[in-house]
Chains A and B, each alone.
Chain A
Amino acid sequence: MSADGAVRYLIRHDTRYRYDQPVGESRQLMRLRPRELPRQHCLSHTLEIDPRPRHGEEYVDGFGNTVCSLHFEHEHDILFVRAESLVEITPFVPPAPGASLPWERARDELAYHAGRGLDAAHLEAAGFLFESRHVRIKHEFAEYAHADFPAAMPLLAGVDRLMRRIHREFIYDPEATGISTPVTDVLVRRRGVCQDFAHLMLSCLRSLGLAARYVSGYILTHPPAGKARLVGADATHAWVSVFCPGAGWVDFDPTNAHIPTREHVTLAWGRDFADISPLRGVILGGGGHEPEIAVTMVPEAERAVLHPESRPPAAAFPPTAQTAPPA
């Protein structure tokens, strides 16, 4: 840990598609490079891709995320992508929720008034006010959220209450939903996974007229006391970020009922999952391709966990004496 309390994490994110028939051509878009943010720096990022793509390049999408675009032309049965990132996080001290402005004022500031201009922050926020593929604006969401947003409730306090209520009233259940389960069903069934809770919370906030975006990334998990950390047992995570005039964007994690401060790493953000899925592609041929995903996020000090059998890629992670794994 450095002087300002910064912590470093090493993240390995493996994706493996096994096709039941050979794929002749494939294009993939990957959003696997952690964003550069005031409190988050990506110190290194490497990609290992098999087979070798014919063409690859990076560009920045409409939300500011870095996208790696790949084109494969040779026939293959398996596509394997390993992203390894070393990220430094400066712990975040969240603003006191009670000190934020009343939520109605935030809403009114974001509403359109003829001829009234928007500063850069409000203009950016305006992109996250409306419906998107997985986020709906409907009465039932506003009604669900209203209990936490009585008149003049400070915005961040209201969001915090909403997050905690979702955590309390919804059951984490990977079997309950799929990628296409509408958020309206999630509200009725009260079950889902992090992605569902994020979409649900976004629907509630946007139905109130607030600006909120979907964040994808990683979260540090803690193995049970006395147990070793399992490699590949983690997954990508999703949470939300709310625009609070004056304070900027503040993250909330409804799956874990807390405000991310130092154990979340942000990959990308967008209106919802559809904008920023970590891997998205089009293949010709092939079939039956649910990917296997293995994510491991460890504090830098534990990097040996990731390389029990071999040296780490030297170019990517300069070895230091205390962290060098056994040869």
Chain B
Amino acid sequence: MPAGLIHSYHPSASRYDEMLAARARPRPCWRAFAERLEDIPEEALLRREKFVRDAIEADGVSYNVYSDPQGNRRPWELDMLPLIIGDDEWSRLSAAVAQRARLLNAILTDLYGPQCLLAEGLLPPALVFGQHGFRWPARGVHPPGGVWLFSYAADIARAPDGRWWVIADRTQGPSGSGYALQNRIIVSNAFPDAFRELHVNRLAGYFRTMQESIARIAPSDDETPLAVLLTPGPYNETYFEHAFLARYLGFPLVEGQDLTVRDNTVFLKTLRGLRRVHAVMRRLDDDYCDPLELRADSALGIPGLLGAARAGRVLVANAIGSGVLESGALFGFLPAICERLLGEPLAMPSVASWWCGEKPALDYVLAHLDELVIKPAFSGMRMNAVFGSLLRGEARRRMIERIHAQPHAYAAQEWVRLAQAPVWQRRHLQPRSVGIRVFSCAAGNGGYAVMPGALGRVAPHAGMEVISMQRGGLSKDTWIRASAPVHNTTMLKRRLGVNDLVRSGSDIPSRVGENLFWFGRYTERVEIGARLLRAALTRSTSGEDDAGQELAGLLAAARRAGMPVDGPEDEEERGEDRPERQIIAALVDAARPGSVAANLRALAFSAGQVRERLSSDNWHALNALEQLLASPIVSVDQALSAIDRIMQSCILFAGFALDDMTRDEGWRFLILGRRIERLERLAGLIPLPATGTAREREQMLEWLLEAADSIVTYRARYRREPELLPALHLIVFDHANPHSVRFQVDTLREYLALTARELGHPCPSPMIEPLARHLEDFDLRRFEDSDPEAALDALRVLLAEAASAAQALSDEIHRRYFIHTVRPVLLRRMP
């Protein structure tokens, strides 16, 4: 054992220590764990520490930090030592949290309803109407089952006398229960024996209660209720948790654009069509939920959600407007309100607080600034808590001025010397300030269930008072010991399929299909663009006579493909070095629409939206390409080598898509996207100019075959210079050439049929069938006739038909599978 691990732990005497009581004796609920800890050799502890770190890495547990310039993902910080709480103490704590949840729900019901609390003077109007948290549009909403507050979390901590106090209420969409669960999975595996022998309460039952309550409370109209978890998206600080909880609960993880409201009913847009949503568990702040009635500039919300809630057609958990209670200024009023609304005393005190909007309180705060923590009265205010004792000189004067100017916007709290607990750091136990977040959810019967566990929150540094995950705090698993062995249930072992709530994995949101579709299109667009530019670059530096002619044709083709290169009319202004310069710009300048760099950026965006479906290799390759194009590329050699790397990565993406991705409904759209893009590009590339001699045209075939990635096949087949008929046959009509028009059309027909069959509704593609017929019927012997021009004209018509078929099909797919509108709308993401 590390000699005297406990013995060398020196908690501050002026605080409550979670582990040690007086004379350094472990508290009863800790004793067994402390003894075990002493018995574990140091190397074994270090192994466990590594195990915890590795598990976090492997599971990809992260917490996004907005202010972090090093990208937005940071590994979750977890101390391997649990926090332990005994059975008796916990039953008091959890009862108090459940009571507080009932109380807060009753307050919300009153504030958005009759407002007795205001009429009776139990709550100052300023704390309701004077803050942005009160949502006027939510007045008159009657949530299903009277549940405003479906889930609630309390941040609580212990004062030196050992009593627990509420530090903060989380009432909008409390985060942390998923992290608590993840912590449990890791820490219980780091100390499996102790975990078993200490009879630690399991967490799974709580989440099952949550599922069952949602099903019970949601307005189901006798349908099997579908619940979704609404996230602001991957950039949110707790996105990892949203994804984790959604998987665990079996709820589709959705963003606002995945949902639509029709006839006051919420629907999920899936590849199979619209599915009614009965409950929305949201992790989106109140104000962002519905741009129609709340913040108009919110792109994250669902227009009409509040209307659906008003019509009682959906359970929004928590109800829109519940953020009004995330105000520390309310604390002082809660004891009287609890007596009034629940007829019982408030079980757990809040930390002593003063709302400056009351004159006596304001006077007290200004007189005792050094002993207090100054906080914004309302959650929406941009201000961090400030310790009065740390305010000096000018800063102190300014703070006092601000409080005087708007006293009702400030509250002060007693500075509680938080309890401490040991954390494992640098091979020792170190004391750190600690608090816990306790979670509860409506139990469907008017009461609340409390999770028998908690998210332990630890200050980042010794002696630091503020616990904040945003500021780099640690977390802990919290073990609640049961008096008897606990029933072993887990939801993780069971695959998706818990209760009736869980749908099959086929509810793939349309957004996922759409982004895969564009991932496919952009991969192809990048690849073809790069290939064209490579062909152009090699000719721009070639000394051969024909090169100039070929280059002009190539640039014209690139322009037809939407790339930012000049037309022939600009040719005269061009200096000697212009072609290379503009070709390189078309490669690297992301500000120019249609450049390879711009398309790569769009590709990366689409990829980012479906990140969980891509391998990390793909992801790294994409990042590397973006960095490559951001590095200075000036010479032709640099450009050519960049193009080579782009082509390699494109092959990697294509290979991954074919070999490694799960072939579900979403995957099909990636392939459709690739084929549609290739069809459209080929159809735009091939038409040869009507002018020019037959000889000049044949010169163009060389680069055309190259750009269409068919030159190798051509040479292998014919072993001679390109000629019109065989070249056109290869890139237009050949069934077997994956780079021919014909091949794209055949594959598209095949996949469209499959997709239509799988997704249960037909995708009429009115232009693809005739196109296939026209390709089949085209008589290549016309090129042997005396008038090849007539044959070329007919081919041009056919290719124009192919280009419009590709566009029409893309629009049709959007309409039918992604946005679910009935009537046609014009959709183009890019030129």
A contacts, CB < 8 Å to B: 21-22, 24-25, 27, 29, 54-55, 57, 59-63, 69, 71, 73-75, 112-120, 123, 126-131, 137, 139, 270-271, 275, 280-282, 285
Contact = CB atoms under 8 A, between A and B. Distances in A.
Nearest to A60: B140
Contacts of B824: 75
A167 B33 CA distance: 77
Given A69-B307, A74-B823, A285-B825, A118 B136 contact: no
A75 B129 contact: no
A271 B819 CA distance: 37
B825 to A, nearest CB: 4
A114 B125 contact: no
B262 A114 contact: no
Interface string B426-438: 0000000000000
A112 B362 CA distance: 13
B822 A59 contact: no
B121 A117 contact: yes
B296 interface: yes
B263 A55 contact: yes
8 tightest CB-CB pairs across the interface, nearest first? A62-B139, A126-B125, A112-B124, A130-B130, A62-B136, A24-B825, A282-B303, A117-B121
A129 B822 CA distance: 47
A116 B123 CA distance: 10
A109 to B, nearest CB: 12
A118 B307 contact: no
Contacts of B303: 27, 282
Contact of B136 (A61, A75, A120, A129): A61
Contacts of B264: 55, 57
Contacts, number: 101
A114 B117 CA distance: 12
Contact of A130 (B126, B262, B310, B405): B126
Interface string B792-831: 0000000000000000000000000001011111100000
B130 A129 contact: yes
Nearest to B360: A114
B654 interface: no
Nearest to B405: A139
Nearest to A120: B119
B137 interface: yes
B304 A27 contact: yes
A272 to B, nearest CB: 11
Contacts of A281: 292
B171 to A, nearest CB: 19
B291 interface: yes
A126 B134 CA distance: 13
Nearest to A26: B303
Contact of B406 (A61, A74, A123, A137): A137
Nearest to A63: B136
B118 interface: yes
Nearest to B131: A130
Contacts of A114: 121, 358
Contact of B129 (A54, A59, A61, A126): A126
A29 B264 CA distance: 14
Contacts of A25: 821
A112 B355 CA distance: 12
Given A62-B139, A69-B307, A123 B262 contact: no
A280 B129 CA distance: 23
Contact of A123 (B115, B136, B296): B115
Given A61-B136, A123-B119, 6 more contacts: A60-B140, A73-B823, A123-B118, A126-B129, A130-B129, A281-B292
Contacts of B120: 117
A127 B131 CA distance: 11
Contacts of B124: 112
Interface in B291-305: 291-293, 296, 303-304
